């Protein structure tokens, strides 16, 4: 297998971000509010930064797409948007407070640490001679709809350069998520006869709440397929229950929302069929578009990541990300920070984690270049 030499520093467009510049960039973007649907100001800031470093990027709504090099495409993808600031914050969520080597602020961990680290790595290789192309996608709407990555993938397909491998920047402690569960949302509805609560027993009609309870009990222990070697077992949990509004009226309808986390071991359609066979109520699929995905541990992308970070844990992720849109190609979810800090009050990331993230991403690209192939 041919090996491509790393480009000497003199051939790089730059300068690349020094560590202090990277940390300053991270604090700056944390201080720019970017809740889902309002990522425009942050996209403006990062587009200007790329242009100032001599890298052209395309604007797709409030998502940015920059591509360098030629050949098979490696996609580096992370998201600009955050959830809204919830209750419990003791520090201003948009001031990027620096304290004891940490940066505290909304999105500091999820996923602006990955955004900054990926951008730094991308700038570092922007003019290097690589045996493949690299695209940096900094996307909108990941927390709500995935529309940003969907638009990026559609644009790359239109160009005739779909990615052949992908790295999704999310807080994993730089452990390697090689698989991710899918999402299946079901609605289970039971119907009965509405009546006064005092007469329900005498009338003897179908009571929707009791029918729904029986259906939920029937789903206990349902077989959702064999255990997946990385993701474990699929799960199905009732998360929302809706029925009457007053204590003295038996409702004519009751509804449960079921949250399913699926694996490649059993197709979503088969899970729906198994649920339907167990219940008497009406079953409707609310969403099944987020498919489970799994990259073989022997894939070149995974092996290269392990060489860069030999102590990294290989794991399957139960939480969603835009990795769900890349089920047909080798992909890993990996980035600085910790998932447990995401969406929490006083969210934080350590500055050293950000620097480690940038070093990891640079090393991964260099390892793939040395191998001469993405697959």
Non-local CB neighbours of 175 within 8 Å, separated by 6+ positions: 312, 313, 314, 315, 334
Confidence of residue 16 (pLDDT cuts 50, 70, 90): confident
CA distance readout (Å), 271 to 115, 227, 274: 36, 14, 5
Q: Nearest to residue 323, comparing CAs of 332, 315, 314?
A: 332
Q: What is the DSSP string of 45-94?
A: HHHHHHHHTT---EEETTEEEEEESSSSEEEEEEE--BPPP-TT-SS-TT
Three state DSSP letters for 117-146: HHHHHHHHHCCCCCCCEEEEEEECCCCCCC
Structure tokens at 320: 């969603």
Q: Which of 28-42, 196-210, 297-311 has the lowest mean pLDDT?
A: 196-210
Q: Nearest to residue 351, comparing CAs of 7, 20, 9, 12?
A: 20
pLDDT value of position 7: 35
- pLDDT 10s digits, 161-213: 999 999 999 999 999 999 999 999 999 999 999 999 999 989 988 999 999 99
Task: Please give the Cα distance from 309 to 2 (Å, whole number).
Answer: 23
**pLDDT higher at 6 or 68:** 68
Helix axes 351-371, 19-30, angle to 10 degrees: 120
Q: What angle do CA 220, 223, 226 make, to 5 degrees?
A: 140
The CATH architecture that domain 9-180+292-371 belongs to is 3-Layer(aba) Sandwich (3.40)
Specify the DSSP element, H or E, that contains 315: strand 314-317
Predicted TM-score (pTM) above 0.95:
no
Q: Where are the domains of the chain?
A: 9-180+292-371, 182-290
CA distance readout (Å), 16 to 114, 122, 128, 210, 224: 17, 9, 12, 64, 49
Across the chain, mean pLDDT equals 94
Task: Please give the Cα distance from 321 to 168 (Å, whole number).
Answer: 8
pLDDT value of position 199: 93
Which DSSP letter does residue 35 get? B
Task: Please give the Cα distance from 375 to 372 (Å, whole number).
Answer: 9
**Residue 286 · residue 187 · CB < 8 Å:** yes
Of the options 3.30.70.360, 3.50.50.60, 3.40.50.720, 3.40.630.40, the CATH number for the domain spanning 182-290: 3.30.70.360
What length does the chain have?
Answer: 375
Cis status, amide bond into 111, omega within 30 of 0: yes
pLDDT value of position 75: 98
Q: Does residue 139 register a pLDDT over 60?
A: yes
b vs e for 222-255, b when ≥16 Cβ sit within 10 Å of the residue's Cβ?
eebbeebebbeebebeeeeeebbeeeeebbbbbb
Confidence of residue 3 (pLDDT cuts 50, 70, 90): very low
Structure tokens at 27: 């604090």
Q: Does residue 348 register a pLDDT over 80?
A: yes
Task: Please give the Cα distance from 18 to 28 (Å, whole number).
Answer: 15
- pLDDT 10s digits, 226-251: 999 999 999 999 999 999 999 999 99
pLDDT value of position 318: 87
- pLDDT 10s digits, 305-333: 999 999 999 999 988 999 999 988 999 99
Q: What angle do CA 111, 15, 135 make, to 5 degrees?
A: 45
Burial of 61 by CB count in 10 Å (0-12 exposed, 13-18 middle, 19+ buried)?
Answer: middle
C-alpha gyration radius of the chain:
24
pLDDT value of position 122: 98
Q: Nearest to residue 46, comparing CAs of 25, 61, 67?
A: 25
């Amino acid at each position: 297998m041919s090996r491509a030499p790393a480009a000497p520093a003199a051939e790089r467009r730059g300068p690349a971000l020094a560590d202090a510049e990277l940390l300053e960039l991270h604090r700056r973007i944390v201080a720019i509010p970017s809740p889902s649907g309002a990522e425009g100001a942050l996209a403006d800031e990062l587009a200007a930064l790329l242009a100032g470093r001599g890298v052209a990027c395309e604007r797709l709504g409030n998502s940015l797409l920059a591509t360098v090099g030629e050949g098979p495409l490696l996609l580096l993808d992370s998201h600009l948007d955050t959830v809204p600031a919830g209750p419990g914050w003791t520090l201003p969520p948009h001031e990027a407070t620096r304290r004891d080597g940490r940066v505290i602020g909304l999105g500091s961990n999820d996923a602006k640490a990955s955004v900054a680290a990926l951008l730094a790595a991308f700038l570092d290789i922007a003019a290097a001679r690589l045996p493949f192309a690299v695209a940096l996608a900094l996307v909108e709407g990941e927390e709500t709809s995935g529309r940003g990555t969907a638009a990026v993938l559609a644009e790359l397909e239109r160009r005739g350069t779909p990615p052949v491998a992908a790295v999704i920047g999310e807080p994993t402690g730089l452990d390697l998520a090689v698989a991710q569960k899918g999402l299946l949302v079901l609605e289970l509805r039971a119907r009965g006869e509405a009546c006064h609560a005092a007469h329900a027993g005498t009338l003897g009609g179908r009571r929707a709440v009791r029918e729904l309870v029986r259906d939920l009990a029937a789903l206990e222990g349902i077989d959702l397929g064999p255990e997946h070697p990385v993701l474990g077992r699929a799960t199905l949990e009732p998360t929302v229950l809706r029925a009457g509004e007053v204590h003295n009226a038996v409702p004519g309808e009751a509804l449960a929302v079921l949250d399913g986390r699926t694996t490649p071991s059993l197709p979503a359609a088969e899970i729906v069929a198994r649920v339907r066979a167990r219940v008497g109520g009406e079953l409707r699929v609310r969403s099944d578009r987020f498919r489970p995905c799994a990259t073989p541990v022997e894939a070149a992308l995974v092996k290269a990541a392990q060489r860069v970070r030999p102590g990294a844990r290989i794991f399957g992720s139960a939480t969603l990300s835009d990795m769900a849109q890349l089920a047909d190609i080798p992909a890993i979810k990996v980035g600085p920070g910790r998932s447990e800090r995401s969406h929490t009050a006083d969210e934080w990331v350590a500055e050293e984690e950000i620097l480690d993230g940038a070093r990891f991403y640079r090393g991964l690209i260099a390892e793939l270049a040395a191998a001469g192939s993405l697959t």
